[in-house]
Amino acid sequence: MTKFRHLIWMLIAAAGLILSVSQSYAQKPDVGDQPGLLPDDSVELDPEFRKTAVLYRTSEAPGTIIVVTAERHLYLVQGNGRALRYGIGVGREGFQWQGLVNITRKAEWPDWTPPPEMIARQPYLPRFMAGGPGNPLGARAMYLGGTVYRIHGTNAPETIGGRVSSGCIRMVNEDVMDLYGRVNVGTKVVVLPIERHADMRAHAAR
């Protein structure tokens, strides 16, 4: 009987520990963007997420940007079955989206004004931050339609290839500057849902 009671108490204690851990995870703050963090230039991207010329089949016109969220890749269609492929960071779970938009504005070393929804999640964020190396928007930004989303650089290059943002599409500064110079205001941007990524096929060009 004593052993049985001891076993019951052990089970209750274990259940309490599990509940405590799960609650601590549930209360874990949303770290999101980190203002003031200077990028680590020594970070090397995985080869999969480095800028690459690829063979790419699509019916979209040359100059179109296609974001394949599931792959964490952005394609700039070149025509003749080719594209430039860049590695990106995308929205974390609950912050991914899809749609057809256009670039409505471009900015070099953009200022950052976090939207109210982000401030609500991360009240410690600055209400405004001037552009510069420590700005989470990085070296360039391309604003997408009437949304709060952008294709932009980052001060955290180690996050490329991950699902880490609040919905924006991140690129390393070198890549976003390259893309910025290749596209204009009005450029069509197609953001594909997760379930459609298998429809696209890309291969490194030789």
- As annotated, the active-site residues are 152, 168
More confident position, 6 or 135: 135
Residue 68: both structure tokens together: 């394949």
- Asked if residue 165 lies in contact with residue 153, where contact means CB atoms within 8 angstroms, the answer is no
* Tens-digit pLDDT profile for residues 56-94: 999 999 999 999 999 999 999 999 999 999 999 999 888
Check residue 20 and give its pLDDT.
33
Residue 7 pLDDT greater than 60, yes or no:
no
pLDDT class for 203, splitting at 50, 70, 90?
low
Collect all residues with Cβ–Cβ distance below 8 Å to 107 and sequence separation of at least 6: 131, 140, 141, 143
Prediction pTM value: 0.78
Check residue 19 and give its pLDDT.
35
More confident position, 134 or 35: 134
Distance CA 159, CA 52 (A): 19
- Asked if residue 201 lies in contact with residue 120, where contact means CB atoms within 8 angstroms, the answer is no
Q: List residues bridging with 107 in a β-sheet.
A: 141
Q: Which residue has the tokens 């982000």?
A: 118
Residue 198 pLDDT greater than 60, yes or no:
no
